[in-house]
Chains A and B, each alone.
Chain A
Amino acid sequence: MDSEKRPMLPLIGSEIVKSTLTALWFMFLTFPIMVIKISPLDKTIHWRWMNLVYVGAGAFFLSFLWRYFMERKVQGARADEDGGWQKRAGQRISTDRRIYLPGLIALGAFVAIFPFLFSSYQTSIMITALMYVMLGLGLNIVVGLAGLLNLGYVAFYAVGAYFFALMNHHFGLGFWFALPMAGAIAAIFGILLGFPVLRLRGDYLAIVTLGFGEIIRLILENWNDFSFGPSGIAGISRPGIMGASLTLHQHTIYLYYIMIVMVVFTMIVVGRLRNSRIGRAWIALREDEVACQAMGIDKAKTKLMAFALGATWAGFVGCIFAAKTTFINPSSFTFMESAIILSIVVLGGMGSIMGVVVGAFILILLPEYLRAFSEYRMLVFGASMVLIMVFRPQGIIGGIRQHYTFQRKPAADAGEGGDAACA
């Protein structure tokens, strides 16, 4: 970057002019609300001129900051064309054991003792965040890898939750039996949704899946005999360990560890799927449907597999959710949930596992811990989403592709001996 240094002085001059204009514009815009204050009781007008100064100074400073980051973004795009340090750094961190091993151990230790360091309330929030990590990773298969925009993902979450709740209510089925079955049932629902939408893509697919999500919710809300309607199902049993009776606090800790194991399991499975024959078929399908078929990939089968596998994780989490809250009703499964899960995937980075983990923590923990600024909570939340999308449209952490190394033999018969993923 040093090589293309431009003359600094005139540049700064024009930047100051730009920022001054922005500041003046903002001062003009906010004048009525920030400066004039009318008190209707004693019929007087207060002129708060100091506010005008604050707005001006603030806008001046922020516009500088905005343009600085915009400039960096443009330069970043240029740098990306010849490698991109982030990509290289990512590749390095994920391949060099000396760098990631100590970090991983420290993180593991922190995760392991987390419930003993923090209160039951914090642990409970963390469980929720971990549930969304799993949901995000599941949706990542469908949206991030296979490129099928699914706005009704919450339906599978509901299927898992209601499956466990109903089975528990009617037959007293335990959590550990219900968990794999909830996943399987959700997968079947995934295929059920998959069949009619095989020919659809993009916007059309999004609308149909949106409708599917609403259908499931409306059925749960209105079919009283089956789902107990809006009043929901209460008294769902928590996961037990060999019949031991646990206090509420102990239950939370137990559930926390279950979630940690489940999340690690999900990350391994999704990571392996991504770099497998099936995963590559999904990505190919996302990139170019016609070419994908012309390369001998069965479109229908591949799409159904993506829907089914994505839904499976939602089914798992649904079951865990029912066990965590011990009470479920249809209002937990609104479109808003689908939107949040989709935001996690897009914000974190489509097709990227670490991205989704980070995205879930940001989207779930940020509103939770911003409660201190209660009035501004949603404002900060919205602004941070807009900023991330402006400056990193590919998500916080973009997907990193598998790297292969080949030892080149000298002479004519070069090649062979590449490192496959199974090392």
Chain B
Amino acid sequence: MQPVLDVKKLTMDFGGLRALEGIDLQVNRGEIVALIGPNGAGKTTFFNCITGIYEPSGGDMIINPPDKPAKRINKLKPNTVTESGLARTFQNIRLFQKMTVLENVMVARHCRTRSGILGAIFRGTKTCAEEQEMVDFSYRMLEKVGLEGYVNDLAQELPYGAQRRLEIARAMATEPFLLLLDEPAAGMNPRETRELDALITRIRDEENLSILLIEHDMKLVMSISQRIYVLDYGKMIARGTPAEVAADPNVVKAYLGETFDA
């Protein structure tokens, strides 16, 4: 079976700085894959390349949506990438602060709905039906992440852990087949991290999607991911199952330094 995301020899240069060099990465259907590495290794840059925020300098990125033909996403704009079925969250939370929780999720339904200016002004039956569908769908997403009690609160009023979950709900509302999570557990306490662990697995199973996540919390990474890729200084230094990666001398060196005698 084709991998849903197939990245080949991806390279990203910023002027003279090579942030990513020849990265190969595959995510298979239904898999949870983790991308780890020390700070500044290029993990978020990799995400930004896939989601169209940066245009990579070389390499290929191909997606295989379950019900559509394969597609090269190298030169697509971020909104087109999202429309093709990739959705992401952000490392530093990027919610629409002055909108309500429900509206945050409704915004993400934008690319799956069609009503325009005239529809908005005249509010015909079609627009109303679509609006209602949007509200219901968004509410279901909020229920999935356990935020249905906050629908009318402003996003900025939510506690930190809830903001992270809202980002996940928002990304899910675009109906992706691949969800990219950028440090979903950052700043969470151990109990919240455990809940997140369960949430990610549940989402994968219920929504039938694949997940690629960047994470620093090793306990979380080891427990939920099937495969792990390790980046360091823009290069892929290891890949494999959690057990393989944990035993890899290169990984130990990258995380703990040269002098560590394993």
Contacts and interface: CB of A to CB of B under 8 A. Distances in A.
Contact of A277 (B96, B134, B157, B171): B134
B99 A287 contact: yes
Given A295-B108, A415-B148, A401 B103 contact: yes
A288 interface: yes
Interface in B97-131: 97-100, 102-103, 106-113, 115-117, 119-121, 123, 127-128, 130-131
A305 B110 CA distance: 15
A58 B88 CA distance: 60
B77 interface: yes
Interface stretch (B60-68, B136-144, B254-262): B136-144
B11 interface: no
Contact of B78 (A273, A277, A294, A402): A294
Given A288-B95, A414-B143, A415-B140, A295 B107 contact: yes
A83 to B, nearest CB: 10
A249 interface: no
Contacts of B98: 283, 287, 399
B168 to A, nearest CB: 13
Interface in A76-120: 81
What is the predominant secondary structure among interface residues of chain B facing chain A? helix
Contact of A422 (B88, B127, B171): B127
Interface string A319-361: 0000000000000000000000000000000000000000000
A386 interface: no
A420 B94 contact: no
B23 interface: no
A415 B143 contact: yes
A280 B82 contact: no
A269 B122 CA distance: 8
A277 to B, nearest CB: 5
A406 interface: yes
A414 B144 CA distance: 11
Contacts of A10: none
B210 interface: no
Contacts, number: 147
A401 B151 CA distance: 12
B139 A418 contact: yes
Contact of B79 (A287, A293, A309): A293
Interface string B34-55: 0000000000000000010100
A296 B108 contact: yes
Contacts of A406: 139, 148, 151
Given A280-B107, A281-B110, A418-B135, A273 B99 contact: no
Contact of B152 (A281, A296, A403): A403
A294 B120 contact: no
B120 A296 contact: no
Given A283-B96, A290-B94, A277 B113 contact: yes
A71 interface: no
A296 to B, nearest CB: 3
Contact of A280 (B83, B106, B130): B106
B170 interface: yes
B82 A295 contact: yes
A404 interface: yes
A292 interface: yes
Q: Among the interface residues A284, A299, A408, which one has the most CB atoms of the partner chain B within 10 A?
A: A284
A421 interface: yes
A223 B112 CA distance: 48
B128 A422 contact: yes
A278 interface: yes
Nearest to A291: B94
B224 interface: no
A279 interface: yes
A401 B155 CA distance: 12
Contacts of B200: none
A414 B143 CA distance: 9
B2 interface: no
B233 interface: no
A295 B175 CA distance: 11
B158 interface: no
A296 B79 contact: yes
Contacts of A284: 96, 99, 107
B77 A293 contact: yes
Contact of B110 (A277, A291, A417, A421): A277
Interface of A: 81, 269, 272-273, 276-281, 283-284, 287-288, 290-299, 305, 309, 399, 401-404, 406, 408, 414-422
Given A287-B97, A422-B123, 13 more contacts: A273-B117, A280-B103, A291-B96, A293-B53, A294-B53, A296-B108, A296-B111, A401-B152, A404-B102, A404-B135, A416-B136, A417-B136, A419-B135
14 contacts: A276-B115, A277-B120, A277-B134, A287-B97, A290-B90, A293-B82, A296-B83, A296-B112, A401-B99, A401-B100, A404-B102, A415-B136, A415-B143, A422-B123
Q: Which 9 A-B pairs have the closest CB atoms?
A: A296-B111, A276-B120, A422-B128, A296-B82, A291-B94, A287-B96, A293-B78, A420-B132, A418-B135
